[in-house]
Amino acid sequence: MSYVPINRPVQVAANLNATSFEDADINLFELFVTVMGGTKPGRIEGRTFRRCRLQGPAILLLAGGVELESCNLGDSGGDIRNLLLQPLGDFSLGTIPMRNCRFDNCEFFNVGFTGSQAVLDMLAGVSPGARA
Amino acid sequence: MTDKTLDVMSETYGRALVAETAYEKRAIWLPLLAVHTLNAGEPVIKGKTFTDCVIEGPALVAVLQGTTFEGCDMGASSDAKSLLFTPHGPRLVGAIGLQDCKFVRCRFRQIAYTGSPAFIEGMSTEITGRGGAGR
């Protein structure tokens, strides 16, 4: 199933502590700050996003178990590699780590992606359904 | 009674924040400044001076022409390279561009850095927890 463009009016997510988001607009750095103050600080985990618009500026660290189904990863300028960043060290500081999250028909704006070499290779050959 | 809750995502707040050119002894949430800068029609944060500020992420900074760091703490890591990223393509989507900005005695928290190959090479050998003269 291919990505269906999201054309609805802006609808800011009301509760960033939710585990499931549908038809919501989310600033990823706001989501991160909310999670950092939660019971399991440091990582966005076990969340589901459906038909959401996710805005940066942000670099998502896909730390395992992240599924991207029929998503628009953003304006790559014709080359998906423009959305990818290679960490030089063992700890990817400055990023927003995610684990075991699912994105279904979501749109990313001003968001880059990083992770292990396997994750980067998977994204570089991105298909509509991708799993990190 | 007036509601005095500060809405940092409001256009009013954003325009005032972006209009400033010098920030001193402030905590700067860099993604927020970047979003408001973009909303003001500017693609990068340009021509600003930060003195004795805490610059907070999470954020990846693209250090562009004219940006300097004097006496700054670039961030804590046992492995300095964990603060650095190289782009896979010619564009830097998701990074916050800093051009002609000056950082003096600032502390950077949850901030990573990227830029030209020459910049990354220089930073990887120079980061020891405190940044010297800029590039």
B chain contacts of residue A89, beta-carbon cutoff 8 Å? 77, 79-84
Residue with tokens 């063992």: A90
Q: What is the interface pTM, i.e. ipTM, of the complex?
A: 0.86
Report d(CA A29, CA B130) in Å as an integer.
25
In A1-132, which ranges are E strands? 20-22, 25-27, 44-45, 48-50, 53-62, 67-69, 85-87, 96-99, 102-104, 107-114, 129-131
Segment A34-39 shows an average pLDDT of 73
Any idea where the domains of chain B sit in the sequence? 22-126
Q: Residue B77, SS3?
A: coil
**pLDDT at res. B119:** 85
Report d(CA B13, CA B111) in Å as an integer.
23
Segment A114-132 shows an average pLDDT of 74
Number of other CB atoms surrounding residue B73 within 10 Å: 16
Between A and B, how many residue pairs show a Cβ–Cβ distance under 8 A? 135
Any B CB within 8 A of A91 CB: yes
| pLDDT at residue A21 is higher than 60 | yes
Work out the angle at residue B35's Cα, subtended by the Cα atoms of residues B46 and B119, and round it to the nearest 5 degrees. Answer: 45
Segment A21-26 shows an average pLDDT of 97
Contact between A73 and A83 (Cβ < 8 Å):
yes
Which range scores top for mean pLDDT: A30-39, A87-96, A105-114, B4-13?
A105-114
Segment A94-111 shows an average pLDDT of 95
* Nearest beta carbon to residue A85 from set B31, B75, B114: B114
Search chain A and give the residue with CA nearest B121.
Answer: A88
Q: Per residue in A105-117, pLDDT tens?
A: 999 999 999 998 8
How far does CA B133 lie from the centroid of its chain? 16
Report d(CA A94, CA B110) in Å as an integer.
5
B chain contacts of residue A91, beta-carbon cutoff 8 Å? 77, 79, 82
Work out the angle at residue A76's Cα, subtended by the Cα atoms of residues A70 and A81, and round it to the nearest 5 degrees. Answer: 95
Q: Residue A21, SS3?
A: strand
Contact between B82 and A92 (Cβ < 8 Å):
yes
* Nearest beta carbon to residue B85 from set A27, A81, A88: A88
**What average pLDDT does chain A have?**
88
**pLDDT at res. B132:** 44
- Which residues, listed in sequence order, are joined to residue A4 by a DSSP beta bridge? none
Contact between B56 and B28 (Cβ < 8 Å):
yes
Inter-chain touch A85–B94, beta carbons under 8 Å: yes
Query: What string of pLDDT tens digits covers the 135 residues of chain B?
Result: 544 567 888 888 888 899 999 999 999 999 999 999 999 999 999 999 999 999 999 999 999 999 999 999 988 667 778 899 998 888 889 999 999 999 999 999 999 999 888 888 888 776 654 444 343
